[in-house]
Amino acid sequence: MGAEQHMLTAGSPAAPAAPAAAVSVRDGRNGRLVCPRQDGLLDRLRSFDVEVLLHDPLVTTARAARLGVEPVGVDDLCRRSDLVTVHAPALPETRHLLDARGPALLPEGAVVVDTARGSLVDTEALARACRTGAISAILDVTEPEPLPPDHPLLTLPNVLVTPHLAGAQGRELRRLGEVGRFVKGAPLLGRVEPEQLLYIA
């Protein structure tokens, strides 16, 4: 698959009848999990009796064990997952992290979710796989963005495309307070160090 960097996560049921779920596990300023205030998310997912797989070379085996996730390669992750979510910054190393092979490896009925960056998923390969009806997709980001009006992903019944708003939670204006702190010379609450720029979205 594409460059083996950053993260691709997936969930698969621990038992055949269990629902699937996925979570992104991440060190650094992005926090540990996908959602803001994520501390309890892994615990909530475990109530569904799911197995969480992770592809992220930045997370050590020991860290993955502490988080209760299984580190795997991209191909293995795709073969074993009912739901795959991708979470990484848009970098040359992460382009098409889920490339043409990924959708073909997914089991029938699997779902791909991308709320991170459109370049992480090979859009045309995903469209081909979704067109067969074997898999579905939920996309908040695409490449290109926006998709052309006649793109097949916009008309398929097993694909949901939203206009890059998955991160909106209604608290954005409050977050602008960080600009006020900067102007006043006050300490920033969300300070990002230059060395972190290679790893955050």
Catalytic option among 6, 26, 80, 117: 117
What CA–CA distance (Å, rounded) separates 81 from 14?
11
The encoded tokens of residue 36 equal: 């803001």
Contacts of 87 (CB under 8 A, 6+ apart): 6, 7, 8, 9, 24, 26, 34, 115, 116, 201
CB count in 10 Å sphere of residue 118: 18
Q: Find the catalytic residue in 46, 145, 151, 181.
A: 145
Residue 151 designated active-site: no
- Which residues, including other chains, have CB under 8 Å from residue 13's CB and lie 6 or more apart? 19, 20, 49, 50, 51, 82
Q: Is 145 a catalytic residue?
A: yes
Q: What is the C-alpha separation between 87 and 5, in angstroms, rounded?
A: 11
Q: Got the DSSP string for 155-169?
A: T-TTEEE--S-TT--
Contact 97, 24 (CB under 8 A): no
Half-sphere exposure of 154 (CA within 13 A, CB side): 12
Query: Annotated catalytic residue: which of 63, 79, 151, 164?
Result: 164
Give the residue numbers annotated as catalytic, written as ranges: 117, 145, 164
